[in-house]
């Protein structure tokens, strides 16, 4: 008999250890022979004769060959296996479509053992032998629901079904999976709420439900999962607060709840999650301050809290020594940027779109690993610190839309890794070093518009010495709105170097002091430029004929110069041209016919030149809103103005995207007034033609149909800015003046009601066709310096003429949108056509809201009661109970300061009741039962006159 030696014992012992660590799921555990041998291993050292290597190999061979024979013996109790099989087949039964093919191996006839089904793994020892421990079917396009029967998989440890098409709800029965450790259902379409029963799965280490359609609250019961390390609930529609109980999960490393509708404050105890590595709470509606306890999270590497409503200042983050990424974009954070000098691991810092003030701290220079900094759209002042020279890893620097001043530190031009530089819309001064292009060799975007830079544009920006590196990099150069100069051909040579940049797509040198003649040879070499803007300079002579060689041009703006002569025929070679602006020059001759054949042209501005002869009558010239030829007195067939309330170019001087960007400080958040379904509203200063139609309508100043800096279509209406905000703010948010709330009194509200009725009456009697506003509500009523009301936001307006209606129905899908919930007429919900009665209904609801102080969508009315019915029921004997108490208090306070105000409370209530009755008559459910807006206007004027007479009689 051969006896193994000590060395063989060691080998066998190591083999046993290897098998044990694989949790019993390897062939060696299937061999009774080897298991028996290992069981006797402690006795082996006492044996004297060595075991040869050939015998050892034979033993191993025997164990492997024996495993299939022994496989049947590893099956669990047939009854338990049947339970698992039934649960899985129940899951399969809820699948449909082509996804069933992925489960073809799941057979109910026993031809394939359960443990060999696709995506299924079974235990191999102990009580888990032959029982399902893993169900993993990722990225198979499975279409169906999660079966409650999965809760019967008693020993399931891993449920892994991400990136499928699962829908329905998460069954509460999953809470029966007491051994479940990993629940991964990311990227599906699962609805409903997160079942609190998951808190019974005490072994859970990871819950991943990212990108589904889950609703409701985050269950506070999840705090019972003390082993939980990953909680990923982002990109759903969860509401409510982040439960403070979650902060007791000491093992938590990953917390992701971004892209939901969560509200409330960040739990103040969040700093107790000392093992947290990633915190993602961005894109919610979280408010309040950033907890100071965050500074305790020394293991945290990523903090994303962007796009919330967080306020206050940034607390000290000095204890977050592992932090690599900090993103607080788009909040309401104020104060200064705190010291960050010891956060040496930081690679990305994003604080843009807040209200941060003060200077950029010098301590940022200590963060030598920083590759991206964005401090844009704040209120930062002072210079760019010289310490920036230490950031050798910096690739992106965004400082636009602040109040920075002073010269650029020369050390900044030594940042050889810099790719993106945006310092637009500040007050930075002086010029650029001549050799900057030699140092910033990786630059891709150079955006310095709207500052006070002067001098020459560096010729080195894209010179031959760096051609090999930069010709595929530099794509956007924007010098717009500075004081840069060029007076001779030598000064224009910067364009020559730019022609070396084969990737150059945007070149904007508008609104500077560039003079002289555009060199023909240089312009012809801008072959890859998509957007070229040299407007508002002092460029003279003719348009270079080589412009026709710039085949990539889509946007060409040469307006506001001293160009003369005719439009060159070579321009017709630009087949991709979409926007062309030659306005405000000294061009002459005929407007060339080839412009009418440029089918891609969507905007053409030839206004204020010296063109003569006939205007072409095809192509772009058939679109009166896309062309402007005004200010050319010798044209023989100027078109008639469009008879509708229109935005034709004869009525309004157009402005460019660049001018609007400058007027609004590049659409900075501090100039953002509001956002609606049709776009955003900004305030800005813009010189343009004014056009008045009615004193109570917001005036359209001008229009813009252009493309933005990225080459995307950009369209805008420029309205008069009205500084006293909108009626909604006055009714519900109580604007302040000198720290005191301002509330509209009775006379003020009555006059606003009359103003609005006057505007609507004008629209309804407009010639040749009545106009329906379709979205009357307090937020669309704007107030000027004298509190005169102006009706605005005509995004839904319609001409009351069937031809127009039919055309708009087809082109815009009007039937889907007809106003705002609460104000929209009930008949529109039934698909009825738009009529002036719809505006009258909205106006009636507006009146009721103005004098009751209650929104029509208020929850206090319930589903069975509307604002109309609420007021109507109270008018008989409880009128005083529905009147806005703030209105009565405001009117009472006026008596003490206005010498000519002597109305009694009885007169005041009587006046308000009369107004509410008008509101009731306007908001009747049946359209034909409503009074006309003209009658409502006369009623209100009579009510005001009567009330004022009562005042005078009480003097």
Report the half-sphere exposure of 242 (CA within 13 A, side-chain side). Answer: 27
User: For the domain that residue 907 is a member of, what is the CATH number?
Assistant: 1.10.510.10
Question: DSSP letter at 221?
Answer: G
Task: Quote the percentage of the chain above a pLDDT of 70.
Answer: 71
Quick one: which of 86, 212, 207 has its CA closest to 145?
A: 212
- Lowest mean pLDDT across 392-406, 409-423, 920-934: 409-423
Residue 34 and residue 147 in one domain: no
Say if residue 60's pLDDT is above 70.
no
Residue 757 and residue 902 in one domain: yes
- Among residues 214, 231, 251, the one where a domain terminates is 214
Question: Is residue 676, in this structure, part of any structural domain at all?
Answer: yes
d(CA 550, CA 577) in angstroms, rounded, equals 10
Neighbours of 739 (CB within 10 A): 5
Residue 817 and residue 930 in one domain: yes
The pLDDT confidence band at residue 845, using thresholds 50, 70 and 90, is very high
Residue 795 and residue 939 in one domain: yes
Question: What's the distance, CA 692 to chain centroid?
Answer: 35
Q: Annotate 101-135 with b (16+ C-beta within 10 A) or e (fewer).
A: ebbeebeeeeeebbbebebbbbbbeeebbbbbbbb
Q: So what's the pLDDT on residue 866?
A: 84
Do 883 and 871 form a contact (C-beta atoms < 8 A)? no
Q: So what's the pLDDT on residue 734?
A: 63
Phi and psi based region of residue 552 (left: phi greater than 0; alpha: psi -120 to 50; beta: remaining): alpha
Q: So what's the pLDDT on residue 205?
A: 97
The token duo for 408 is 């650029």
Say if residue 501's pLDDT is above 70.
no
- Across-strand partners of 726? 782
The pLDDT confidence band at residue 492, using thresholds 50, 70 and 90, is low
The parent domain of residue 22 ranges over: 6-74
Is residue 775 flagged as an active site residue?
A: yes
Question: Is residue 338, in this structure, part of any structural domain at all?
Answer: no
Question: Is residue 707, in this structure, part of any structural domain at all?
Answer: yes
Which residues, including other chains, have CB under 8 Å from residue 335's CB and lie 6 or more apart?
A: 312, 313, 314, 356, 357, 358
Q: Which of 96-105, 139-148, 475-484, 739-748 has the highest mean pLDDT?
A: 139-148
Residue 30 and residue 88 in one domain: no
Tokens 């110069």, residue located: 561
Q: What is the distance in angstroms between the CA of the first residue and the CA of the last residue of the chain?
A: 130
d(CA 902, CA 954) in angstroms, rounded, equals 6
The token duo for 657 is 């995207």
Q: So what's the pLDDT on residue 904?
A: 62
Q: So what's the pLDDT on residue 600?
A: 85
Q: So what's the pLDDT on residue 916?
A: 93
Say if residue 242's pLDDT is above 90.
yes
The mean pLDDT value for 799-818 works out to: 40
Question: Is residue 733, in this structure, part of any structural domain at all?
Answer: yes
The pLDDT confidence band at residue 942, using thresholds 50, 70 and 90, is confident
Say if residue 900's pLDDT is above 60.
no
The token duo for 404 is 């920075």
DSSP symbols for 630-662: TT-TEES-PPPPPSSS---TTTS----HHHHHH
d(CA 762, CA 546) in angstroms, rounded, equals 53
Residue 13 and residue 142 in one domain: no
d(CA 714, CA 379) in angstroms, rounded, equals 27
Quick one: which of 507, 392, 394 has its CA closest to 445?
A: 507
Report the half-sphere exposure of 136 (CA within 13 A, side-chain side). Answer: 9
Burial class for 75, CB neighbours closer than 10 Å (0-12, 13-18, 19+):
middle
Q: So what's the pLDDT on residue 285?
A: 94
168 or 732, greater pLDDT: 168
- Lowest mean pLDDT across 415-429, 711-725, 863-877: 711-725
d(CA 196, CA 119) in angstroms, rounded, equals 27
The pLDDT confidence band at residue 773, using thresholds 50, 70 and 90, is confident
The mean pLDDT value for 54-82 works out to: 47
Quick one: which of 337, 368, 367 has its CA closest to 352?
A: 337
Say if residue 495's pLDDT is above 50.
yes
Say if residue 464's pLDDT is above 80.
no
Q: Phi, psi at residue 634, to the nearest 5°? A: -95, 5
- Among residues 162, 183, 214, the one where a domain terminates is 214
* Average pLDDT score, the chain: 78
The pLDDT confidence band at residue 652, using thresholds 50, 70 and 90, is very low
- Lowest mean pLDDT across 158-167, 301-310, 437-446, 554-563: 437-446
- Among residues 719, 745, 762, the one where a domain terminates is 719
Question: Is residue 594, in this structure, part of any structural domain at all?
Answer: yes
Q: So what's the pLDDT on residue 689?
A: 35
Q: So what's the pLDDT on residue 705?
A: 64
Quick one: which of 747, 754, 787, 744 has its CA closest to 903?
A: 747
The mean pLDDT value for 146-159 works out to: 96
Report the half-sphere exposure of 930 (CA within 13 A, side-chain side). Answer: 27
Residue 19 and residue 87 in one domain: no
Residue 764 and residue 910 in one domain: yes
Write a three-state SS string for 812-855. HCHHHCCCCCCCCCHHHHHCCCCCHHHHHHHHHHHHHHHHHCCC
Task: Quote the percentage of the chain above a pLDDT of 90.
Answer: 37
192 or 878, greater pLDDT: 192
Q: So what's the pLDDT on residue 80?
A: 78
Classify the C-alpha dihedral 177-178-184-188 as positive or negative: positive
Residue 793 and residue 701 in one domain: no
Question: DSSP letter at 23?
Answer: T
Instruction: Please give the helix or strand (H or E) that residue 728 lies within, else none.
Output: helix 727-728
Q: What is the pTM of this model?
A: 0.55
Question: Is residue 138, in this structure, part of any structural domain at all?
Answer: yes
The string of pLDDT tens digits covering residues 331-361 is 999 999 998 878 889 999 999 999 999 999 9
Quick one: which of 643, 611, 600 has its CA closest to 624?
A: 643
Question: Is residue 522, in this structure, part of any structural domain at all?
Answer: no
Q: So what's the pLDDT on residue 816?
A: 40
Say if residue 530's pLDDT is above 80.
yes
Which residues, including other chains, have CB under 8 Å from residue 296's CB and lie 6 or more apart?
A: 271, 272, 274, 319
Question: Is residue 524, in this structure, part of any structural domain at all?
Answer: no
Quick one: which of 687, 692, 579 has its CA closest to 627?
A: 579
The token duo for 634 is 């010798």
Q: So what's the pLDDT on residue 646?
A: 34
The string of pLDDT tens digits covering residues 13-55 is 333 333 333 333 443 333 333 333 233 333 333 333 333 333 3
Write a three-state SS string for 284-319. CCCEEECCHHHHHCCCCCEEECCCCEEECCCCCCCC
Residue 186 and residue 175 in one domain: yes
Q: Annotate 396-421 with b (16+ C-beta within 10 A) or e (fewer).
A: bbbbbbbebeeebeebbbebeebbbb
Which residues, including other chains, have CB under 8 Å from residue 10's CB and lie 6 or more apart?
A: none
The mean pLDDT value for 798-826 works out to: 52
Q: So what's the pLDDT on residue 350?
A: 95
Q: So what's the pLDDT on residue 874?
A: 84
Q: So what's the pLDDT on residue 428?
A: 87
The string of pLDDT tens digits covering residues 671-698 is 666 665 456 666 665 644 333 357 788 8
The mean pLDDT value for 202-225 works out to: 96
**How many separate domains does the chain show?**
5
The pLDDT confidence band at residue 176, using thresholds 50, 70 and 90, is very high
Residue 748 and residue 853 in one domain: yes
User: For the domain that residue 134 is a member of, what is the CATH number?
Assistant: 3.80.10.10
Q: Which of 745, 775, 793, 839 is catalytic?
A: 775
Residue 759 and residue 887 in one domain: yes
């Amino acid at each position: 008999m051969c006896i193994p030696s000590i060395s063989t014992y060691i080998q066998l012992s190591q083999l046993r250890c290897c098998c044990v660590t694989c949790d019993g799921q390897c062939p060696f555990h299937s061999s009774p022979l080897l298991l028996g041998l290992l069981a006797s291993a402690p006795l082996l050292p006492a044996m004297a004769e060595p075991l040869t290597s050939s015998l050892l190999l034979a033993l191993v061979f025997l164990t492997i060959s024996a495993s299939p024979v022994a496989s049947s013996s590893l099956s669990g109790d047939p009854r338990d296996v049947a339970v698992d099989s039934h649960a899985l087949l129940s899951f399969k039964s809820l699948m449909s479509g082509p996804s069933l093919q992925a489960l073809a191996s799941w057979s109910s006839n026993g031809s394939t053992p359960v443990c060999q089904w696709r995506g299924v793994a079974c235990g191999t020892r102990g009580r888990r032998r032959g029982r399902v421990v893993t169900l993993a079917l990722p990225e198979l396009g499975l279409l169906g629901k999660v079966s409650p029967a999965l809760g019967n998989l008693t020993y399931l440890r891993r449920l892994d079904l991400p990136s499928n098409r699962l829908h329905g709800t998460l069954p509460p029965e999953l809470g029966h999976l007491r051994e479940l450790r990993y629940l991964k259902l990311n990227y599906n379409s699962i609805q409903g709420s997160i079942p609190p029963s998951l808190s019974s799965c005490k072994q859970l280490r990871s819950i991943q439900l990212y990108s589904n359609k889950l609703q409701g609250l985050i269950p506070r019961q999840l705090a019972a999962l003390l082993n939980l390390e990953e909680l990923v609930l982002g990109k759903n529609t969860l509401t409510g607060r982040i439960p403070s109980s979650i902060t007791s999960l000491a093992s938590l490393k990953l917390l992701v709840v971004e892209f939901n509708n969560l509200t409330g404050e960040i739990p103040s105890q969040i700093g107790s999650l000392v093992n947290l590595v990633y915190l993602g709470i961005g894109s919610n509606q979280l408010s309040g301050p950033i907890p100071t306890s965050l500074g305790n999270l020394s293991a945290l590497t990523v903090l994303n809290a962007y796009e919330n409503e967080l306020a206050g200042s940034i607390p000290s983050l000095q204890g977050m020594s592992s932090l690599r990424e900090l993103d607080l974009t788009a909040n309401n954070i104020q104060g200064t940027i705190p010291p960050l000098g010891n956060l040496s691991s930081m690679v990305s810092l994003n604080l843009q779109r807040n209200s941060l003030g003060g200077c950029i701290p010098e301590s940022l220079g200590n963060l030598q690993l920083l590759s991206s900094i964005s401090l844009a759209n704040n209120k930062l002042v002072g210079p760019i610190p010289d310490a920036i020279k230490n950031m050798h890893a910096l690739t992106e620097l965004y400082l636009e839309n602040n109040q920075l001043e002073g010269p650029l530190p020369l050390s900044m031009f030594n940042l050889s890794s810099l790719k993106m530089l945006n310092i637009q819309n500040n007050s930075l001064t002086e010029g650029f070093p001549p050799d900057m292009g030699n140092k910033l060799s990786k630059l891709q975007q150079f955006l310095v518009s709207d500052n006070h830079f002067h001098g020459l544009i560096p010729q080195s920006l894209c010179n031959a010495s760096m051609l090999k590196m930069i010709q595929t990099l530099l794509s956007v150069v924007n010098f717009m709105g500075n004081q840069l100069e060029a007076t001779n051909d030598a000064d224009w040579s910067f364009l020559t170097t730019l022609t070396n940049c084969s990737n150059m797509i945007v070149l904007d040198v508008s609104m500077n002091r560039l003079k002289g003649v555009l060199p023909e040879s240089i312009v012809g070499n801008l072959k890859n430029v998509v957007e070229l803007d040299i407007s508002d300079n002092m460029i003279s002579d003719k348009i270079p004929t080589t412009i026709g060689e710039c085949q990539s041009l889509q946007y060409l703006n040469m307006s506001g110069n001293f160009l003369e002569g005719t439009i060159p025929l070579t321009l017709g070679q630009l087949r991709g041209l979409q926007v062309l602006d030659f306005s405000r020059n000294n061009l002459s001759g005929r407007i060339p016919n080839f412009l009418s054949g440029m089918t891609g042209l969507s905007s053409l501005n030839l206004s204020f030149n010296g063109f003569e002869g006939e205007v072409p009558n095809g192509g772009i010239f058939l679109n009166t809103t896309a062309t402007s030829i005004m200010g050319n007195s010798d044209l023989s067939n100027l078109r008639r103005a469009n008879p509708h309330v229109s935005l034709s170019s004869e009525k309004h001087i157009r402005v460019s995207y660049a001018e609007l960007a400058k007027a609004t400080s590049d659409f900075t958040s501090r100039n953002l007034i509001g956002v609606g379904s049709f776009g955003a509203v900004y305030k800005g200063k813009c010189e343009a033609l004014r056009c008045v139609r009615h004193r109570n309508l917001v005036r359209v100043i001008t229009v813009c149909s252009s493309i933005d800096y990225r080459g995307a279509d950009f369209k805008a209406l420029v309205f008069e800015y009205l500084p006293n905000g909108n009626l909604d703010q006055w009714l519900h948010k109580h604007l302040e003046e000198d720290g005191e709330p301002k509330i509209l009194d009775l006379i003020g509200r009555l006059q606003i009601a009359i103003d609005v009725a006057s505007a609507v009456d004008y629209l309804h009697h407009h010639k040749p066709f009545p106009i329906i506003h379709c979205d009357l509500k307090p937020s669309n009523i704007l107030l000027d310096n004298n509190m005169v009301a102006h009706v605005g936001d005509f995004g839904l307006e319609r001409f009351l003429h069937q031809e127009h209606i039919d055309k708009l129905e087809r082109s815009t899908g009007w039937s889907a949108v007809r106003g705002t919930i609460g104000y929209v007429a009930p008949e529109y919900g039934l698909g009825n056509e738009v009529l002036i009665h719809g505006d009258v209904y909205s106006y009636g609801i507006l009146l009721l809201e103005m004098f009751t102080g209650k929104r029509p969508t208020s929850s206090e009315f319930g589903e069975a009661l509307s604002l109309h019915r609420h007021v109507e029921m109270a008018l008989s004997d409880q009128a005083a109970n529905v009147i806005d108490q703030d209105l009565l208090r405001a009117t009472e306070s006026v008596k003490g300061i206005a010498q000519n105000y002597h109305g009694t409370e009885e007169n005041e209530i009587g006046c308000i009741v009369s107004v509410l009755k008008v509101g009731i008559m306007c908001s009747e459910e049946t359209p034909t039962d409503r009074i006309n807006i003209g009658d409502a206007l006369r009623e209100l004027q009579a009510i005001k006159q009567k009330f004022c007479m009562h005042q005078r009689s009480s003097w």
